[in-house]
Amino acid sequence: MSVKPDEQTTAERPGQAGLDLCDILLSRLEQERATNPRETKRSALRQAFLSVFRDQLVGPGDRLPPEAELARHLSLSLGTVQSALGQLQDNGLIVRRRGDGTRVADAQEMSPRIWHFRFRVTETNRPLRITESKVEVLRTHEIGRWTGLLGDGPQTAIRRRISGDGVKMGAEMYLRSDLLPIDDIDMRELEGVNLRTYLESQLGQRAQLLNTRVSVQVLPLRQAAMFEMRPDATVLKVEAQTALGDGTPFYHQNIYAHADEVLLEF
């Protein structure tokens, strides 16, 4: 975090700096709710935090204000604050520890909340922090590797344009349409969350990984246009298939990342 010589970071001076961050969050929260009046309070607060992270108003290791202080200053319930912070933690953006409060993530070891792999930014060798995602949900009859897992269509497809730390990525997830009807999905709730853990909470079941496949390929023009990535670039493609705890096929997901921008860590 960039500070003036006579200033201290949030971690060094939690009182005043914490109030300053609360004021910024309140302003961002009000803007978000004015723009999207039907959005839940939890989602609006998550988006406010993501905008603060994108603008680098806090940096890795910085301490965030206490949950009770956030709730009081933002006029939100403690449960709403804790739920929004939980989603940010599921996405690897913050770390919450008893006795140390909540800090912006700067993890070198793989968090147990990261299921089976993560990306590191090649330029910095730091874990990629996803701070923005644009979501599209549609019903599709496409045929691909997911068909063997999910059966014949239609399927529900969730496509995301993801960015963070100067890196652009794309992800497409396919689910059975009867498992998660398209009309039941609030797209705003899908932005800036760990999609797996969000869907688990919606379905009331935990997922289990069936297999993961990694390949290096030239990005097809269709995906390049869809995810606003460089056409004909060499990318890492990660495919993952999962099932629910009762054995029901859950989802097939493809993730595309420019091979010269990220490292893949298992």
Of the residues 104, 127, 148, which one is the last residue of a structural domain? 104
- Is residue 74 located within the same domain as residue 146? no
**pLDDT tens-digit readout, 25-55:** 999 999 999 998 989 999 999 999 999 999 9
Sequence-ordered strand ranges (E) for the chain:
94-97, 101-104, 118-121, 132-140, 155-164, 167-176, 207-218, 234-244, 249-258, 262-265
Coil, helix or strand at residue 32: helix
pLDDT of residue 227: 96
Q: Which residues of 186-212 are buried (b: 16+ CB within 10 A; e: fewer)?
A: eebbbbbbbbbbebbeebeeebeeeee
Which domain does 100 fall in, by range?
14-104
* pTM for the predicted model, two decimal places: 0.82
Q: Tell how far CA 206 is from the center of its chain.
A: 18
Higher pLDDT, 7 or 229: 229
Q: What is the CATH number of the domain that holds 37?
A: 1.10.10.10
Give the DSSP per-residue string, 88-137. HHHTTSEEEETTTEEEE---SSPPTTS-S-EEEETTT-SB----EEEEEE
Angle between helices 195-203 and 78-90 (to 10 degrees): 130
Specify if 88 maps to a domain: yes
Do 126 and 76 have their domain in common?
A: no
Task: Identify the band that residue 188 occupies on the pLDDT scale cut at 50, 70 and 90.
Answer: confident
Asked if residue 21 and residue 138 are part of one domain, the reply reads no
Does the residue 19 lie in any domain? yes
How many folded domains does the chain comprise? 2
What are phi and psi for residue 141, nearest 5 degrees? -110, 20
The CA distance from 162 to 192, in Å, is 9
The DSSP symbol for 209 reads E
Is 18 found in the same domain as 132?
no
pLDDT, greater one: 168 or 265? 168
Mean pLDDT of 109-118: 61
- For residue 16, pLDDT beyond 50: no
